[in-house]
Structure 1
Amino acid sequence: MSKLNNPNAEGYTVVRGLWKLYYNQGERNYIAPKRCNGTYDDHKFVVWPIAVASQAVVDGARIYPELKPLIPAACEIFFKYKNQSKHAYSATENKDNDIYYDDNAQIASCLITAYEVTGNPQYLAQGRELVDFLMTGWNNDPKAATKGGMLWHISKSLLNACTTAEVAKACLQLSRFVKDGKRYIDFAIKCIQWQFNVLQDPSDKLIMDGVGKGETNVSEVKYSYNLGTTLTAASHIYQITKDEYWLKKATELAEAGINRNVFFYDRDFPDHLRYWRDGSYFNQLLIEGLADYLLYCDDAVSNEFGLKIQEEIKRHLIMFYEFMKDPKGGLYIQSFEPHNTYKEVYDAKYKNWFGDGKGWGLKGEDKGDDGNPQYCLMGLGAAARVFFQGARVAPNIDY
């Protein structure tokens, strides 16, 4: 029976799989063979899973140069969704005003990473144009009950954690490559300080989901990706400023991210069996945040704590590989919960790992129209990133 030894190699396999399954040369886009999660018009994808999948391609090309020829096609897809008047990208290909700032922040991050990997200045220019648009989404409304924060959508009043942190992350990426980088650093600092002031729960240090600008009651849902993206940005700010405040805040977030008593762990089990219960599309950003913390904070992180982070990521990579991988097709659904998986995988492994804790099921987002497990673009892009980002901390796994 195969085991996960090299997470980067597994990520590479998933990228190759998603490209073969979804990239359509004639359409010059990702096209679903049949309707699945994240599609509209039955076969086209909204821009969020496109951003995740294309980021996975670029991440893979950083490690495996033979993937570099895919980058132009992977990034070209975005421009089918571009609203030229807004200099931003709509959720669907009709280029309307359905523009989400968090989707666009992920596109900006992908484009800037594509510049890092290829050196093509076109990607840097496109990323900068998009970051400049993103910065216009800051809530400057003097009548707003909640001041500051990044809007979620150009026509909605919700101020979201994911948007605010992902815009900060893109700003910090960009700051490394432009002469006026301080402007982008300052904006990122403003974003993340707002997260701490408004959305951080002081009791567990997690980042809550958002608040309407006309409201003061914050949504208390605490997804793993909100912590992960905030952690990435706070850690990067520390690396730039060397201000101990940012190290302290980043460390608080990192400690919360692997605290098995917090909201996004499944706490129906004893401590040693608890796991992140969000989908792979959220958990990939938590893993990235933890890896970024170790990268950017480096010598300021104790060996003991660094090892603890490494072991927690490794444990989740193993579980994801063992339970979410299709035993026939070899690719992945979006679930991160071992009981919400392929029936044959559940039957073969679940009780040996988790006892009688939970019965078998399948999440709706992982089902096709026939009720059977089905891949989707988001799930494959996220799975590749789970392995690529996890490999930064745990490049070799022996278990």
Structure 2
Amino acid sequence: MRLARLLLFPAMLLSAVAAPSVHLERAVEVTESIQENFWDRKSGLYASKSGGKDPDMIWGSGVMFSAVVGAARHDKKYRPVMRKFFEGMDAYWDVKVKIPGYEPARTQGGNDKYYDDNAWMVLTFLEAYELTGESRYLKRAEETLEFVVSGWDEEAGGGIWWHEKHNGDCKNTCVNGPGALGCFRLARFEKEPAAAKWNAFGEKITVWTVKTLQAPNGLFSDAINVKTKAVNRDQLTYNAGLMLRVFLSLHARTGERYYLDEALRMGKAAEGLLDRGTGAYRDPIKWAHLMVEADLELYRATGDKAYHQRAVKNAAHHYAEWKKSPAPDLISQASLARELWLLVDHETPAGIEFWKKSDKAKAR
């Protein structure tokens, strides 16, 4: 009997490995629904509303691009979609200025660009480059990051503005966090001295953001008003998620324990961002999915399954909400697709290998 159980165990293990992933099934379901209800094959762009005609703003488009990149890791049919979408977003790319960047809407030139919109694009283009090796994505990431860091000045002691035209008079964590992370991640693909330049700029952004906007619990306030010096002390999930990843990136490159301890402190403090009723992050998914991504990166860095379980619980809640009543806007649905594909990454050889290489990548 004991021998029979021993013989049976490998078969059970193989069966468990071969069993379809619930996250894969859900990721496919949500992504295919988006393709059916939002995708315009002719323009290569996605509508802002389900069944609508008007393309989404660049922020929502960037989230959707990250979802397509995630899907393309697991199904090659999304590779041409990714390329078509990338080319379609050229409609937002303003070349009529000294330092080009993405406009919030399809450009006629002269719109007030958001530096944070562009910072998100840097991260997703670098991921596309890591996946495909296609230089177009690296080149545009470099160009876009040049625009992002052009938003730095010494008012309020430094920092990158939220708006190009300083609308709102504020400098926000939501641009400085991904701005710093973009510098660190781009540096891994650059030769010296460019790699050193980007790492130094990322460190400068990080120092300013920590000094100006980090709260005593380790999380980050939303913004500082440059004119009044008043700090908006709201703590949002996407601010926490990006700064946590900044600390992990610094730890991976330098090996300094301080940065890992800061990431762990933030990971613990993020419990305070959860809704006690649902167990999911209290913010809308368009922000919360970025904290889920940080949880998964912290899980990979530490092996602590609690962070993976927190990500799983968030995705389960968000998927249940989608099944009950899909949000009409692209950014919400794209955020769910991105979240689910990231979980698939932690269950498949392709995804595990991708992040293993990505997390350990060094400057060339």
Instruction: Report 1:125-140 matches (<5 A).
Output: 125-140=139-154
- Are residues 1:386 and 2:339 paired? yes
Name the residue aligned to 1:181. 195
Select 1:53's aligned residue among 64, 75, 80.
Answer: 64
Shift of 1:65: 2.3
Select 1:265's aligned residue among 274, 283, 291.
Answer: 274
Name the residue aligned to 2:138. 124
- The 1-side partners of 2:309 and 2:46 are apart by 35
Shift of 1:294: 2.8
Shift of 1:238: 0.6
What are the superposed Cα offsets for residues 341-380 of structure 1, whole Å, 9 maximum, x if unpaired? Answer: xxxxxxxxxxxxxxxxxxxxxxxxxxxxxxxxxx221112
Q: Retained in 2: the 8 A contact 1:231–1:254? A: yes
Instruction: Report 1:147-166 matches (<5 A).
Output: 147-156=157-166, 157-166=169-178
Shift of 1:323: 3.1
Consecutive unaligned residues of structure 2, counting only runs of 5 or more, are 1-19, 349-364
What are the superposed Cα offsets for residues 58-94 of structure 1, whole Å, 9 maximum, x if unpaired? Answer: 1211232232121111211221011111310111113
- Are residues 1:77 and 2:30 paired? no
- The 2-side partners of 1:25 and 1:394 are apart by 31
- The 1-side partners of 2:308 and 2:122 are apart by 28
- Are residues 1:284 and 2:282 paired? no
Partner AA of 1:50 in structure 2: S
Select 2:247's aligned residue among 214, 223, 234.
Answer: 234
- Range that drifts further, 382-391 or 114-123: 382-391
The structure with the greater share of residues assigned to helix is 2
- Are residues 1:246 and 2:259 paired? yes
DSSP-derived class of the 2:224 partner: strand
- The 2-side partners of 1:199 and 1:394 are apart by 36
Name the residue aligned to 1:168. 180
Shift of 1:100: 0.3
- The 2-side partners of 1:127 and 1:225 are apart by 21
- The 1-side partners of 2:184 and 2:123 are apart by 10
CA RMSD of aligned residues (A): 2.3
Q: Retained in 1: the 8 A contact 2:292–2:314? A: no
Instruction: Report 1:1-399 matches (<5 A).
Output: 5-31=21-47, 43-84=54-95, 85=97, 86-94=99-107, 95-140=109-154, 144=155, 146-156=156-166, 157-179=169-191, 180-202=194-216, 204-257=217-270, 259=271, 262=272, 264-267=273-276, 269=277, 274-295=279-300, 298=301, 301=302, 306-326=304-324, 332-333=326-327, 375-392=328-345
- The 1-side partners of 2:197 and 2:207 are apart by 16
- The 1-side partners of 2:262 and 2:230 are apart by 23
Q: 1:13 to 1:181 in 2, by over 3 A?
A: farther
Aligned residue pairs total: 323
DSSP-derived class of the 1:45 partner: coil
- The 2-side partners of 1:391 and 1:196 are apart by 33
What are the superposed Cα offsets for residues 180-236 of structure 1, whole Å, 9 maximum, x if unpaired? Answer: 21211222222222222111110x222110011223221011111100011111101
Shift of 1:33: 6.6
Name the residue aligned to 2:7. none
- The 2-side partners of 1:120 and 1:214 are apart by 43
- The 1-side partners of 2:113 and 2:305 are apart by 41
Shift of 1:393: 5.1
- Range that drifts further, 10-19 or 106-115: 10-19
- The 2-side partners of 1:33 and 1:164 are apart by 29
Q: Retained in 2: the 8 A contact 1:171–1:184? A: yes
DSSP-derived class of the 1:313 partner: helix
Name the residue aligned to 1:39. none
Q: Retained in 2: the 8 A contact 1:234–1:249? A: yes
Shift of 1:19: 2.1
Q: 1:245 to 1:34 in 2, by over 3 A?
A: closer
Consecutive unaligned residues of structure 1, counting only runs of 5 or more, are 37-41, 334-374
Q: 1:34 to 1:22 in 2, by over 3 A?
A: closer
Q: 1:253 to 1:66 in 2, by over 3 A?
A: same
